[in-house]
């Protein structure tokens, strides 16, 4: 079984601060993230760089959320973009209604839709805490309904993957419609204010990036605490042989459902942090390709390792930022080549290059997992 399990014995008391000693990679990643946050505050680099770091951190959170269900539970979701988008859309709604409440200038969206005032379902979103709760609860609720229906009837493996893909695809078609009332094709953009301050100010950009980095560190620490604990052991057991775990009397449905909803919530958090930094949200976030790309980040970084997900997300997206500007034609070829190399040659992703891990987990036992 996994190395993480062996280090924490059954009788170990639960600790508030997770033991990072068992995972030097994760400790290094968290350390790097915190150092980065500190460096952003102290060195004050160019705003575009700060902004990029912040976006990468948001993608890293998204990758961690997927790694939690894929790497540790064996559920490959090809629809995680849905939860990311829920966070993003609610955040955008908050930003627009907040600016409307403060400045009194009607957002473009209202003119575009021909509204005199914001519709009822926007009520209260001007308040940040309420919007946060709405985003997280909404995404958890949708995850619950979909997850309950799927896990209860034991839809798993690739079946689950393609149904979740259909889910995000349908959501994309839905949001492309103008009468959905969330900007349709154009999405929402032009956010002037955040917490009453101009969103483009250098201090605000740094603040957002640092907040995202801190959130990433927190998510990593929390996920670590989860996966080394009792629940984490059940997750690995469920990943490796669900039927046996069920036979032993565990409710795998409840376990999967809980982690699934948690993962969706984390993805929504990533979306919330992403939108103010990038300044736009539109239905392209919901394209099935983006959701598959999230899985690609995790696979490239190394699934089943929280640090690996972060490395994958950062490496692929940094490369994408650079290459899609430098040679946009070549980027898809490079990405597909990268995926094939990793999938064929490096079963644990880039981590195999550093041989941080001698033997892939999926080879240790029968290897039913992808």
Partner 1 sequence: MVEGVKAWICGTFLLLAGLVQPVLGATPGLDRAGFAVSLCGDGVAQTRALDALIRSSGEEAVDDLAAAGILLRGLLERRLVCLGDTAVLLDKVGASAGREVGIGAVRSTEGGRSPVLGLRQRALTETALGIATLVAGETVELRSKGLAAVERRMAGVPDAVLLRAQINESDAGLKAAIGVAAQGAALSSPDPMRRLAAIRAVADAPSGAAVSRLSALRSDPAYGADPAFRAALDAGIARVERAVWIGNGLALLYNGLSFASILFMAAAGLAIIFGLMGVINLAQGEFIMVGAYAAYGVQDTFRRFAPGLLDLYLLAAIPVAFLAAALVGILIEALILRHLYRRPLMSLLATWAVSLFLINLVRVVFGSQNLQFAMPSYVSGGVPLYADFIVTWNRLFAIAFATATLALTLLILKRTPLGLDIRAVTQNRDMAACLGIRTRRVDRLAFGFGSGLAGLAGVALCPIYSVNPGMGATFIVDSFMVVVLGGVGTVVGTLVAALGIGGANVLIEPFYGAVAAKVIVLAGIILFLQRRPEGLFAVRRRR
| Shorter beta-carbon distance to partner 1: residue 57 or 313 | 313
| Shorter beta-carbon distance to partner 1: residue 190 or 370 | 370
Asked whether position 335 contacts partner 1 by CB under 8 A, the answer is yes
Count of Cβ atoms closer than 10 Å to residue 161 Cβ: 21
- Residues 271 to 310 in contact with partner 1, rule: CB under 8 A: 288-289, 292, 295-296, 299
Asked whether position 236 contacts partner 1 by CB under 8 A, the answer is no
Angle at 328 between CA 216 and CA 300, to 5 degrees: 40
Options 46, 102, 137, 173; binder of partner 1; rule CB under 8 A: 173
Options 38, 44, 137, 152; binder of partner 1; rule CB under 8 A: 152
Asked whether position 332 contacts partner 1 by CB under 8 A, the answer is yes
Buried b (16+ CB within 10 A) or exposed e, 279-307: ebbbbbbbebebbbbbbbbbbbbbbbbbb
Asked whether position 205 contacts partner 1 by CB under 8 A, the answer is no
Asked whether position 319 contacts partner 1 by CB under 8 A, the answer is no
| Shorter beta-carbon distance to partner 1: residue 163 or 323 | 163
Site string for partner 1, 342-361 (x = CB under 8 A): -xx--x--------------
Asked whether position 6 contacts partner 1 by CB under 8 A, the answer is no
Count of Cβ atoms closer than 10 Å to residue 24 Cβ: 11
Asked whether position 315 contacts partner 1 by CB under 8 A, the answer is no
Asked whether position 327 contacts partner 1 by CB under 8 A, the answer is no
Options 337, 353, 354, 359; binder of partner 1; rule CB under 8 A: 337
CB of 149 to partner 1, least distance (A): 5
Options 196, 198, 203, 367; binder of partner 1; rule CB under 8 A: 367
What number of chain residues touch partner 1 (CB under 8 A)?
A: 46
CB of 170 to partner 1, least distance (A): 5
| Shorter beta-carbon distance to partner 1: residue 170 or 201 | 170
CB of 19 to partner 1, least distance (A): 30
CB of 346 to partner 1, least distance (A): 11
Site string for partner 1, 32-71 (x = CB under 8 A): --------------------------------------x-
How would you write the chain as a 3-class SS string? CCHHHHHCCCCCCCCCCCCCCCCHHHHHHHHHHHHHHHHHHHHCCCHHHHHHHHHHHHHHHHHHHHHHHHCCCCCCCCCHHHHHHHHHHHHHHHHHHHHHHHHCCCCHHHHHHCCCCCCHHHCCCCCHHHHHHHHHHHHHHHHHHHHHHHHHCCCCCHHHHHHHHHHHHHHHHHHHCHHHCCCHHHCEECCCEECCEECCCHHHHHHHHHHHHHHHHHHHHHHHHHHHCHHHHHHHHHHHCHHHHHHCCCCHHHHHHHHHHHHHHHHHHHHHHHHHHHCEECHHHHCHHHHHHHHHHHHHHCCCCHHHHHHHHHHHHHHHHHHHHHCCCCHHHHHHHHHHHHHHHCCCHHHHCCCCCCCCHHHHCCCCCC
| Shorter beta-carbon distance to partner 1: residue 39 or 343 | 343
| Residues near partner 1, by CB under 8 A | 70, 76, 146, 149-150, 152-155, 157-159, 161-163, 165-167, 169-170, 173-174, 176-177, 288-289, 292, 295-296, 299, 329, 332-333, 335-337, 339-340, 343-344, 347, 362, 367-370
């Amino acid at each position: 079984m996994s190395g993480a399990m062996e280090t924490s014995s059954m009788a170990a008391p639960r600790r508030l601060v997770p033991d990072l000693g068992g995972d030097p990679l994760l400790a290094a990643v968290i350390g790097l993230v915190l150092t980065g946050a500190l460096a952003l505050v102290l060195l004050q680099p160019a705003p575009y760089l700060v902004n990029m770091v912040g976006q990468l951190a948001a993608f890293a959170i998204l990758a961690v959320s997927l790694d939690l269900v894929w790497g540790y539970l064996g559920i490959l979701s090809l629809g995680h973009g849905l939860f990311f988008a829920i966070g993003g859309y609610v955040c955008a709604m908050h930003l627009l209604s907040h600016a409307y409440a403060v400045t009194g200038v009607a957002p473009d969206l209202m003119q575009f839709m021909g509204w005199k005032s914001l519709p009822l379902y926007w009520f209260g979103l001007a308040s940040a805490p309420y919007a946060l709760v709405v985003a997280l609860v909404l995404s958890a609720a949708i995850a619950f309904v979909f997850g309950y229906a799927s896990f209860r009837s034991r839809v798993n493996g690739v079946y689950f993957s393609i149904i979740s893909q259909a889910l995000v695809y349908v959501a994309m078609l839905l949001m492309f419609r103008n009468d959905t009332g969330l900007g349709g094709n154009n999405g929402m953009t032009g956010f002037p204010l955040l917490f009453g301050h101009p969103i483009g100010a250098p201090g605000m950009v740094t603040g957002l990036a640092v907040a995202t980095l801190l959130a990433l560190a927190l998510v990593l620490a929390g996920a670590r605490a989860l996966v080394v604990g009792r629940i984490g052991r059940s997750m690995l057991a469920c990943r490796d042989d669900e039927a046996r775990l069920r036979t032993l009397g565990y409710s795998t449905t409840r376990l999967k459902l809980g982690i699934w909803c948690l993962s969706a919530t984390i993805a929504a958090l990533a979306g919330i942090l992403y939108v103010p930094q990038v300044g736009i949200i539109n239905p392209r976030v919901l394209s099935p390709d983006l959701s598959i790309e999230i899985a690609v980040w995790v696979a490239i970084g190394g699934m089943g390792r929280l640090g690996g997900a972060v490395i994958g997300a950062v490496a692929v997206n940094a490369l994408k930022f650079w290459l899609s500007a430098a040679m946009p034609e070549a980027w898809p070829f490079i990405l597909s080549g990268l995926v094939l190399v990793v999938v064929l040659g490096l079963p644990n992703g880039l981590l195999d290059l550093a041989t941080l891990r001698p033997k892939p987990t999926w080879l240790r036992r029968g290897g039913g997992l992808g």
